């Protein structure tokens, strides 16, 4: 299958051009049908391509020297959308010159530019930032929103659930992903009004390609008991950083323990296969590639400190969402939700008239 090319903001991220081009090259070695529009300083990109000759025939360069700063406010970045590598990368999707955009730059600026350029899908009020995280189960868990919206009402949460389930069906292959709302307890009476209303609406909806059964607490996110965790961006961002911090704490604790004495070092050599497996499982590069769900186009955010392998994963995520037509899946699920509500309304009306 021939995929639309992927626009890559080559200037984004902590290390910029070298890592972004190397990551795109690594992705293409795994999937030789990938083609790219590399946006950024032409001389620097051309120099990076010299070390990846296989990328030459699969890439076009869009020259741009202006870069969005890591601490730049989204409102400031928006004013320069037509002159920055990030803005031109997203613009390529809007203009049909690329099927998806990948950037490792400023998250707030990328969301603002993407929302303004691509707009949201019909039936979606706000886009949400979703990412994959490792679990003890067979599949990764998708969590959203992770910071795009600090507040979310019941309607937003229901939309997030539908978008997250559509994404989960693509990456896990599950026909009915298990969806839960993040809460301070699993009891129906716990949480805010928005959470309880959203739970009631999801529980009442029929025909949706998801399995909803209430709430999940934060300590169960990575247990493998749920496929999609839905929350507002404020709570989601805090939960994500707490999980990442706990992972770093465990790995640092193990490192200190294994280097504290000669006996510990010998113990490390014996247990090295297990610790290497743990390191691989917790490495954020293996789950790199957060997605802005709900837009009229595919935009993937790579972590700013991602390695080339991490960037390759982000590129692969973008390609897979194009191949599986994520936006169409979300639109179809929203239509089904609307029909379910209409059926429920008609049923209530008929019942009241008897």
210 plus 312 within the same structural domain? no
- Does one domain contain both 258 and 130? yes
Within this chain, do residues 275 and 308 fall inside the same structural domain, yes or no?
Answer: no
Six token digits for residue 15: 């290390």
Domain encompassing residue 191: 122-293+325-354
The tokens of 326 are what? 């994520």
Same domain as 135, residue 217: yes
150 and 206 fall within a common domain: yes
Alpha helices in the chain (DSSP H): 17-30, 42-49, 74-79, 85-94, 107-118, 154-172, 193-204, 233-258, 262-282, 308-323, 326-353
Same-domain check for residues 98 and 141:
no
Which CATH number characterizes residue 283's domain? Answer: 3.40.718.10
**Residues 141, 285 within the same domain:** yes
pLDDT tens string, the chain, 354 residues long: the values are 456 899 999 998 777 899 999 999 999 888 888 899 999 999 999 999 998 888 888 899 999 989 998 888 989 889 998 999 999 999 999 999 999 999 998 888 999 999 999 999 988 999 999 988 888 888 889 999 888 888 899 999 999 999 999 999 998 888 999 999 999 998 988 889 999 999 999 988 877 889 998 999 999 998 889 999 999 999 988 988 888 787 777 777 777 766 766 666 665 555 555 555 555 555 666 677 889 999 999 999 988 888 888 999 899 989 989 888 888 888 888 887 766 665 566 665 554 443
63 shares a domain with 22: yes
Q: Are 239 and 182 in the same domain?
A: yes
Kindly state whether residues 44 and 152 are assigned to the same domain: no
Same domain, 28 and 83: yes
Same domain, 202 and 301: no
- Give me the residues paired with residue 291 across strands: 130, 300
How many structural domains is the chain composed of?
Answer: 2
Q: What is the pTM of this model?
A: 0.84
């Amino acid at each position: 299958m021939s995929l639309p090319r992927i626009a890559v903001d080559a200037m984004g991220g902590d290390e910029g051009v070298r890592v972004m081009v190397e990551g795109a090259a690594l992705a293409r070695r795994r999937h030789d049908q990938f083609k790219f529009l590399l946006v950024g300083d032409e001389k620097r990109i051309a120099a990076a391509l010299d070390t990846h000759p296989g990328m030459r025939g699969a890439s076009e360069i869009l020259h741009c020297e202006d870069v969005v700063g890591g601490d730049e406010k989204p409102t400031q970045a928006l004013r320069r959308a037509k002159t920055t590598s990030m803005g031109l990368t997203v613009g390529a999707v809007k203009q049909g010159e690329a099927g998806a955009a990948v950037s490792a730059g400023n998250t707030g600026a990328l969301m603002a530019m993407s929302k303004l350029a691509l707009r949201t899908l019909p039936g979606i009020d706000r886009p949400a930032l979703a990412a994959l995280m490792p679990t003890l189960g067979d599949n990764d868990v998708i969590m959203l929103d992770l910071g795009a919206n600090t507040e979310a009402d019941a309607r937003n949460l229901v939309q997030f659930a539908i978008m997250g389930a559509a994404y989960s069906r693509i990456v896990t292959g599950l026909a009915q992903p298990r969806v839960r709302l993040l809460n301070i307890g699993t009891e129906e009476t716990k949480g805010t009004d928005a959470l309880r209303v959203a739970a009631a609406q999801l529980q009442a909806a029929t025909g949706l390609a998801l399995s909803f059964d209430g709430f999940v607490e934060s300590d169960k996110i990575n247990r493998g008991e749920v496929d999609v965790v839905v929350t507002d961006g404020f709570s989601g961002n805090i939960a994500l950083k707490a999980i990442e911090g706990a992972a770093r704490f465990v790995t640092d604790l193990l490192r200190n323990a294994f280097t504290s004495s000669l006996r510990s070092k010998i113990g490390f050599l014996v247990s090295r296969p297990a610790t290497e497996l743990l390191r691989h499982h917790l490495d954020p590069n293996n789950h790199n590639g957060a997605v802005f769900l709900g837009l009229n186009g595919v935009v993937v955010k790579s972590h700013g400190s991602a390695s080339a392998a991490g960037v390759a994963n982000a590129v692969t995520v973008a390609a897979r969402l194009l191949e599986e037509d994520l936006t169409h899946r979300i639109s179809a699920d929203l239509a089904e939700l609307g029909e379910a509500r209409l059926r429920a309304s008609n049923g209530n009306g008929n019942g009241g008239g008897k």
